Amino acid sequence: MPEGHTLHRLARQVQDLFVGRQWRVSSPQGRFAAGAARLTERAPDSAQAWGKQLFIHLGPDIWQVHLGLYGAFSFRGDSSFTGAETLGAPRSAAAQLDPQYDDDGWIVPEPPRGEVRARVHVPNGWADLRGPARCQVLNPMQYEAVIARLGPDPLRQACPQTDPDMLQQFAVGLRRRRISIAAALLDQAVIAGVGNIYRAESLFLERIDPHTPAGELTDAQITDLWDRLTELLRRGVREGIIRTVDPEDPHLGLRGADLTGAVRRHWVYQHQGTPCLRCGATVQTQQLQGRRLYWCPGCQDRSARS
Of 177, 243, 291, 302, the catalytic one is 291
Residue 291 three-state SS = strand
CA angle, residues 202, 15, 198, in degrees to nearest 5: 10
Q: How many CB atoms lie within 10 A of CB 195?
A: 20
**By C-beta, is 38 or 265 nearer to Zn ion?**
265
The residue number with the shortest CB distance to Zn ion is 276
**By C-beta, is 112 or 298 nearer to Zn ion?**
298
**By C-beta, is 207 or 235 nearer to Zn ion?**
207
Distance CA 245, CA 40 (A): 44
Binding residue (CB under 5 A) for Zn ion from 99, 131, 213, 298: 298
Q: Amino acid letter at 232?
A: L
**By C-beta, is 190 or 299 nearer to Zn ion?**
299
Residue 301: burial class (beta carbons within 10 Å; 0-12, 13-18, 19+)? middle
Q: How far is the CB of 236 from Zn ion (least distance, A)?
A: 23
Q: What length is written for the chain?
A: 306
Binding mask 178-197 for Zn ion (x = CB under 5 A): --------------------
Binding mask 246-285 for Zn ion (x = CB under 5 A): ------------------------------x-xx-x----
Of 2, 28, 123, 210, the catalytic one is 2
Q: How many residues bind Zn ion (CB under 5 A)?
A: 7
| CA 7, chain centre distance (Å) | 5
CA angle, residues 272, 274, 280, in degrees to nearest 5: 120
**By C-beta, is 207 or 243 nearer to Zn ion?**
207
Piece of 33-41, 121-129, 207-215, 294-302 that binds Zn ion (CB under 5 A): 294-302
Which helix H or strand E contains 25, and what residues bound it? strand 24-26
Q: How far is the CB of 3 from Zn ion (least distance, A)?
A: 23
Q: How far is the CB of 272 from Zn ion (least distance, A)?
A: 13
**By C-beta, is 9 or 271 nearer to Zn ion?**
271
Q: How far is the CB of 296 from Zn ion (least distance, A)?
A: 3
Piece of 177-185, 240-248, 264-272, 296-304 that binds Zn ion (CB under 5 A): 296-304
CA distances 260 to 226, 229, 232, 267, Å, are 34, 29, 25, 16
Of 9, 28, 44, 52, the catalytic one is 52
Of 3, 119, 130, 199, the catalytic one is 3
Which helix H or strand E contains 135, and what residues bound it? strand 134-138
Active site residue 85: no
Distance CA 125, CA 49 (A): 22
Is the CB of residue 188 less than 8 Å from the CB of residue 196? no
Distance CA 150, CA 146 (A): 7
Active site residue 291: yes
Distance CA 113, CA 144 (A): 35
Backbone angles phi, psi at 42, to 5 degrees: -130, 175
Q: How far is the CB of 283 from Zn ion (least distance, A)?
A: 8
Nearest alpha-carbon partner for 85 in 6, 26, 156: 6
**By C-beta, is 29 or 272 nearer to Zn ion?**
272
Binding residue (CB under 5 A) for Zn ion from 138, 214, 232, 299: 299
Q: How far is the CB of 295 from Zn ion (least distance, A)?
A: 9
Active-site annotation, residues: 2-3, 52, 291
Applying CB under 5 A, the residues found at the interface with Zn ion are 276, 278-279, 281, 296, 298-299
